[in-house]
Amino acid sequence: MSTDKIITEKKFQAFAQERLAPAIADPTLFRDRLKEVLDFAVVNEACMDAGAKAYYDRLLDGVALTFEQGLAGVADSSDKRKMLRLIALTRRKHHRAENFLKGLGRPLTKTFPVVESGKPLFLDALQSVMDLLFDATREHQHGAGQFASLSMLYWTVDELNVAFYLAERMYTTQTYSHLRTVHDLLDRAELFFQFPAMADVWGGADKKKILKELSPSAVRVKLGKPKFDALYDFFTERGMHGTFGAVQMRTKQTGKRPGVTSIAMRMGGVAWDEEVDIAVSCCILTTVLTLITVAKVYESRFHQAEVLATLQAKSQTAIEFLKNHLVEPLQASGKDVSGVIEALNAISQSLSAQNFGP
């Protein structure tokens, strides 16, 4: 970059003072003049040297604080409140909705070792899920039951992708919501394949009957599974229904004095890196469980030696990863890991050759 294009602290200071000086005399100009400075900084950020950037930060904080103090004695009004919100934006004490949405699409600004080591395992297992679904659909589907099962299993691919995408961006609360949906889909896929008549209930118009017959616990009972699923409950507690456990992951005490406790509520993802470790691990766990369910539902449609080798390879690698990145951290923090351990045991049991044909 040529030196004539570099915006130094002196150049930026001159630009800002020229636009903000009239606003000191006439506060009604503040909004428009400050916006000019903000827009200039955004457009030219790549050309600003370190001094200009530091000056910009000081300027925002100083000007905003001055106007905030000046507004303290002004009578309450709509204009005053709009001004205070704008000032808070410049001091990073308020937020723009568009920035959160844009943030979801930006390249990752922070990397996590668990993501770098776990993503290949996740993608490898998910590819195996898609490979088996490809093999399963080389034979025609018959009836509403098989249509419903296949619909549930293809649906899981989107849910798993979204879950991992959110997990690596620290949106772990939302990650668990999608993972819980996957478990619902997996149980329904098994149910519709084993009991095709239940697909007629699923596709029917009797909403009360659907709720009664196809609730998560009702589906588990029909499949001969325990009514209570500890892993499902784990996901529910961490990401659904506004639970206290989920709120704990999104808040942090920032101060305490007699009679007053200060709390910061997080937006844009959780605040602790260890939550990403757990969420990413849960994505891998759920993907392997999805792989096992696809193998179980469409058992007769696969090459048995190949599918068993696939399950053993993916499962054993995942189990080792999950023990290191999920079970041990949860146990160390005093969390209940019964649901995770049950799921790992289920994976181990599913590796026996007799479960997948001769």
Domain C-terminal end among 32, 59, 94: 94
Within a domain: 336: yes
Q: Check residues 76 and 247 and name the one with the higher pLDDT.
A: 76
Give the single-character DSSP code of 48.
Answer: B
Q: What is the pLDDT of residue 4?
A: 60
The tokens for 312 are 């053993």
Residue 33 shares a structural domain with residue 138: no
- Residues 146 and 152: beta-carbon distance below 8 Å: no
Q: How many domains does the chain have?
A: 2
Residues 147 and 219 occupy one common structural domain: yes
Q: Looking at residue 239, what is its pLDDT? A: 75
User: Pick from 29, 59, 94: which residue ends a domain?
Assistant: 94
Backbone dihedral angles phi then psi of residue 177, each to the nearest 5 degrees: -60, -45
Average pLDDT of 100-115? 81
pLDDT of residue 223: 93
Domain hosting 14: range is 3-94
pLDDT score of 353:
44
The confidence band for 205, taking pLDDT boundaries of 50, 70 and 90, is very high
Name residue 36's amino acid: E
- The partner residues of 257 in beta bridges, in order of sequence, read 260
The CA distance from 254 to 33, in Å, is: 34
Q: Let me know whether 80 and 202 are in one domain.
A: no
* End-to-end Cα distance, the chain: 68
Same domain, 218 and 283: yes
Decide if pLDDT at 164 tops 90: yes
Q: How sure is the predictor about 1, in pLDDT bands with cuts at 50, 70 and 90?
A: very low
Phi-psi category of residue 92: left, alpha or beta, with phi > 0 → left and psi -120 to 50 → alpha:
left
Q: What is the pLDDT of residue 31?
A: 75
| 197 and 322 assigned to the same domain | yes
* Model pLDDT, residue 271: 66
Same domain, 88 and 147: no
Q: Are 193 and 145 in contact (CB under 8 A)?
A: yes
Query: Which range scores top for mean pLDDT: 20-24, 277-281, 334-338?
Result: 277-281
- Give me the count of residues in the chain: 358
pLDDT higher than 80, residue 68: no
| Per-chain mean pLDDT for the chain | 84
Structural domain includes residue 304? yes
Looking at the fold, whether 216 and 247 belong to one and the same domain comes out as: yes
CA–CA dist 230, 343 (Å, integer): 9
Residues 72, 188, single domain; the answer is no
The pTM for the full model equals: 0.74
pLDDT in tens, 307-345: 888 888 888 888 888 888 888 877 887 877 777 788 787
**Nearest CA-CA partner of 31 in 67, 69, 3:** 67
Q: What are phi and psi of 7, to 5 degrees?
A: -95, 110
Final residue of a structural domain among 34, 66, 94: 94
Q: Which two tokens stand for residue 101?
A: 């949405």
Is pLDDT at 267 greater than 80 in this prediction? Answer: no
Residue 75 has pLDDT above 70, yes or no: yes
Domain annotation covers residue 253 = yes
Average pLDDT for residues 61-89, to the nearest whole number?
77
> Is residue 103 assigned to a domain?
no
Q: Which helix (H) or strand (E) holds 335?
A: none
Q: Quick check: 294 and 133 in contact, CB under 8 A?
A: yes
Is the pLDDT assigned to residue 121 strictly greater than 50?
A: yes
